[in-house]
Amino acid sequence: MKKVLSFVVALFMCILTVACSSPAKEETQKVEEKKEEKQEEVVETTEEETAEEETAGDEIGDTVVLYSSMTEFDLEALTTCFNEAYPDVEVEIVTGSVGEYTSRIKAEAGNPQCDVTWGGLMDTDGDRYADIFEAWVSDYNDEALDGYSTPNGLYSMDHLSTVCFCVNTELEKELGLNIRSYKDLLDPKLKGKIVLSDPNSSSAAWNNLCNIFSVYGVDTDEAWDYINQLMDNLVVVEKSSACFNSVYDGEYVVGLTYEDGAIKLNQNGSETTEVRYPEDGTSAFAAGMAIVKDCPHPEAAKALVNYVCSAEGQTRMAEYMEGTLRFTNRNYETPENAWLPSSNDMKWVKRPVSELAEKKDALLEKWNNLLGEHQ
């Protein structure tokens, strides 16, 4: 009887074990199957993403050639930040003034060597370069600050270049001067001590002329009378960078220049130069990028322009530069450690862009004739 009872209990336990373990085993198998399915999905997704990235890389190519008048540090910021987003695209750079590189592009028209330009092209250019640039603008044109979207369908406006004085404070002190306004530049003590680049080839110099015309009136007698007096103290050079570098070197007391170039002296530790804005009022032109007609790497060029004009690209570049350049996308964020002063702390004068664009050639001709009388 005991044997029968033991057998029954053992049989019951066996049945119970099977009954309990089978669902658990089935559940375990289902979990394992789901894990395998997820792993397969992950592998497939990764492969798809990799394929998409490779396809994107193939679509834009691995090279883009840039002609630029921007500073060495600006170009360092551009290439570093752009390559964070496009690590497989090499940016080949050729530097020069806007006059130099536009002439080069025209000379290469039969066999374009450049894809895209950065710096020097401004909202007062009108359609003067329509023969060498594609009628294409950034996908972010609608995000530009009011008044700083494309003026002609050729340029993608990415940053502002604001007129300023770069002053050597030690030399200024030696002369007993306090240079704050355009009138202060006419002091006889500054004869041969003010430097400006050539407005025929330098966008920075043309920018400064535009500000004088904005203060005194475009093509007015008052404006030309002032310019005529200024030329008594002025030295005209070829390179726009000389208008802050030579002031730092002590060759000149004042440089008529642009803030993002001059402020870098202070960023790099200069204690003898100071960026000042004319008390009469300052203004800025919007500077743009443009894609060369029939360029060899059009997709890479578009990717570069879109990056520089996007809020993300401008925020990253501003962070890298520590706020030494004012950008145009209304959604970009200025870093807390920006070197440039807030726009709210400056006196601005309205710039008549359309009139300046229309009269540019005539104004430069008058400038050249007047300068010839002083030489």
Integer angstrom CA distances of residue 296 from 53, 62, 79, 112: 22, 12, 19, 7
Phi/psi at 349 (5° precision): -120, 140
In this predicted structure, which of 15-19, 201-205, 279-283 has the lowest mean pLDDT? Answer: 15-19
Sequence-distant (6+) residues with CB within 8 A of 148 are 123, 157, 160, 286, 328
Sequence-distant (6+) residues with CB within 8 A of 39 are none
Q: How far apart are the first and last CA of the chain?
A: 133
pLDDT at 71: 87
Q: Does residue 125 have a pLDDT over 60?
A: yes
Integer angstrom CA distances of residue 258 from 209, 221, 325, 331, 333: 12, 26, 10, 24, 22
pLDDT at 159: 96
Tokens, residue 367: 């400038």
Q: Confirm if 138 and 305 have CB atoms less than 8 A apart.
A: yes
Full set of structural domains in the chain with CATH: 60-160+285-345 (3.40.190.10), 161-283+348-374 (3.40.190.10)
Buried b vs exposed e over 124-158: b needs ≥16 C-beta within 10 Å? bbbeebeebbbebbbebbebbbeebbbbbebbbbb
193 closest CA partner among 245, 246, 241:
246
Per-chain mean pLDDT for the chain: 87
Is the CA virtual torsion 265, 271, 277, 278 positive or negative?
A: negative
pLDDT at 201: 87
pLDDT category at 124 given cuts 50, 70, 90 is: confident
Helices (H), the chain: 2-60, 72-85, 98-107, 169-175, 203-216, 221-230, 242-248, 259-267, 298-309, 311-321, 353-374
Axis crossing angle, helix 298-309 with helix 72-85, rounded to the nearest 10: 100
Q: Which whole number is the average pLDDT over 60-89?
A: 95
Q: Which whole number is the average pLDDT over 113-125?
A: 93
Q: Confirm if 292 and 134 have CB atoms less than 8 A apart.
A: yes
Q: Which whole number is the average pLDDT over 91-119?
A: 95
Q: Which whole number is the average pLDDT over 177-205?
A: 96
Phi/psi at 68 (5° precision): -150, 145
Q: Does residue 25 have a pLDDT over 50?
A: no
Axis crossing angle, helix 353-374 with helix 203-216, rounded to the nearest 10: 100
Q: Confirm if 186 and 229 have CB atoms less than 8 A apart.
A: yes
Q: Confirm if 306 and 133 have CB atoms less than 8 A apart.
A: no
Tokens, residue 70: 């921007």
Q: Does residue 11 have a pLDDT over 50?
A: no
Q: How far apart are CA 109 and CA 104, in angstroms?
A: 9
- Tell me the sheet residues that pair with 256: 165
Q: How far apart are CA 347 and CA 294, in angstroms?
A: 43
* Digit-coded pLDDT (tens) for 311-356: 999 999 999 999 999 999 999 999 999 999 988 899 999 999 989 9
How many separate helices (H) and strands (E) can be counted in the chain?
A: 11, 10
Phi/psi at 199 (5° precision): -70, -10
Q: Phi/psi zone of residue 326: left (φ > 0), alpha (ψ -120 to 50 degrees), beta? A: beta
Tokens, residue 73: 């540090």
